[in-house]
Amino acid sequence: QVQLVESGGGLVQPGGSLRLSCVASGSIFAINAMGWYRQAPGKQRELVATIISGETNYADSVKGRFTISRDNAKNTVYLRMNSLKPEDTAVYYCNANLRPYGLGYDDYWGQGTQVTVSS
């Protein structure tokens, strides 16, 4: 039973910072990639950042402000968010492309954590 659990969301003022965490647990054989996506009401889910080994990829809207990192020993991915803007307000979802024991690679999702940027 594979699970992804996010934490670290909350309410911050514009210009503030947050760090999101996501832990993958269960019968996992290997993890290929991990990443963060976000979705606001009435909008489609969009990619924020991904990491494969040491290679990272960011949406243009967050480059220079967000940093993704990964602790392979703990099956954990982090997203450090600085200089937050109101348009960053969304539910942030953790994603992992992984292979459970006895199965092939597939994408798994957490339930999301709310980030609200407002004065």
Going from the first residue of the chain to its last (119 residues), give the mean pLDDT of each consecutive group of 10, the final group possibly shorter: 96 98 96 97 96 94 97 95 98 97 96 97
pLDDT on residue 54: 83
φ, ψ of residue 75 in degrees (nearest 5):
50, 45
**Pairing status of strand 90-100 against strand 113-117:** antiparallel
Instruction: Give dist(CA 98, CA 24) in Å, integer.
Output: 10
Beta carbons within 10 angstroms of residue 7's beta carbon: 13
* Position 98, amino acid: L
